[in-house]
Amino acid sequence: MVKKPANFFIKIARSGVVAAMYAALTLAVPSASFGLVQFRVAEALTILPVFDPAAIAGLTVGCAVSNTVGLAMGANIAGAFDILFGTLATFAAAWLTYWLRKIRFKGLPLLSTLPPVILNAVVVGLELTLALYGFSWRKFMLAAAYVGIGQFAACTVCGLVLYAALHRSGAYRHLFGG
């Protein structure tokens, strides 16, 4: 069966909306989105691949745009490394989130929230350690812990609240065609 071309454009549009939301939420509060202690509100959106794989591209593009504009604004202290490696971490985390989507605990995709927490704690923690201090295990572990705590709050706590709201209201069906 050949898929309709309209499906392709709908997926592109959904990805674009996710990218725009991610970038807008990140850049609306740059002081909280970049740095050693961070809480990126946009990271709550990392739960969206559970509903639609098109969100993987949207999150990746949104992250690349956010990190690039953040660098241009002087807010992204991890610099060009974050544009490349932070974006790759977001892509990998989004793909893993999608892959884990069917594993549920009491109806919630709890495991799906963990890839962005773990990957960003390691990757962004390393970026920040190198940018701020030069490498040392102690400082890397501290940076990874700080980033991981912020990621847990945004991805797991806020992400599961977003998941529950979209799922219980049925809004995900209208947004993602599910």
Percent of the chain whose pLDDT exceeds 70: 97
How many structural domains compose the chain? 1
On whether the pTM is more than 0.75, the answer is yes
Q: What value does the mean pLDDT take over residues 30-52?
A: 96
In a domain, 81, yes or no: yes
Question: What are the pLDDT digits (tens) for 65-119?
Answer: 999 999 999 999 999 999 999 999 999 999 999 999 999 999 999 999 999 999 9
* pLDDT for 177: 79
Which amino acid would we find at residue 94?
A: A
Within a domain: residue 36? no
pLDDT of residue 60: 99
Residue 124's domain comprises: 5-31+43-176
In a domain, 155, yes or no: yes
Residue 38 lies in a domain: no
User: What pLDDT was estimated at residue 1?
Assistant: 54
Position 37 in a domain: no
What phi and psi values does residue 109 have, to the nearest 5 degrees?
-80, 60
Is there a domain that residue 48 lies in?
A: yes
108: which strand partners?
Answer: 105
Contact criterion met (CB below 8 Å) for 150 and 120 = no
